[in-house]
């Protein structure tokens, strides 16, 4: 699978979406319309970014972005306030923004296999 159709946004009641181990280079903006999503796996693709519309996924609890080409955590991720699990392993990350403290429900953060130079002090504010 090299792309997701824009029509995916019509699946308004979709709760779980696994699209791992494909050849996706981008995610359609329309996925942001799937506001009931609770689990999203985009692992093992060729993604370097995510559309800002994914900020609308306010019920998302688990996000797997591992094994992609992500150099910077997409801004929309920091707006996913209900995230409990975030896997960013095996990407091209060199740092993590202070914005990470916005993920107040985060319990599991996986960052292995990156080129991290340091971790932000804001990480200490994640008390879960």
- Mention every residue, 6+ apart, whose C-beta is less than 8 A from residue 64: 20, 40, 41, 42, 43, 85, 87
Provide the pLDDT for residue 106: 97
Strands (DSSP E) contained in the chain are 16-18, 39-41, 62-64, 85-87, 108-110
Contacts of 118-123 with CB under 8 Å at 24 or more apart are 120/95, 120/96, 122/98, 123/96
Task: Please report the pLDDT score of residue 116 as a whole number.
Answer: 95
If DSSP codes are grouped into helix, strand and coil, which group holds residue 22?
Answer: coil
Closest CA to 103 of 127, 119, 74: 127
pLDDT of residue 90: 98
Report which of 39, 32, 33 is spatially closest to residue 15, judged by C-alpha positions: 39
For 6-41, the pLDDT digits (tens) are 999 999 999 999 999 999 999 999 999 999 999 999
Extract the residue ranges of the chain whose pLDDT is less than 50. Answer: none
pTM equals 0.96
């Amino acid at each position: 699978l090299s792309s997701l159709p824009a029509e995916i946004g019509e699946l308004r009641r979709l709760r779980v979406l696994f699209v791992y181990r494909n050849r996706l280079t981008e995610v359609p903006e329309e996925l942001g319309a799937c506001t009931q999503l609770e689990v999203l796996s985009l692992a093992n693709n060729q993604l370097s970014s995510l559309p800002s519309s994914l900020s609308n996924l306010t019920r998302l609890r688990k996000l797997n972005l591992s094994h992609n080409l992500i150099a910077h955590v997409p801004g929309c991720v920091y707006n996913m306030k209900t995230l409990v699990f975030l896997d960013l392993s095996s990407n091209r990350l060199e740092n993590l923004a202070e914005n990470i403290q916005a993920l107040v429900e985060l319990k599991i953060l996986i960052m292995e296999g990156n080129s991290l130079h340091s971790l932000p002090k804001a990480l200490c504010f994640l008390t879960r």
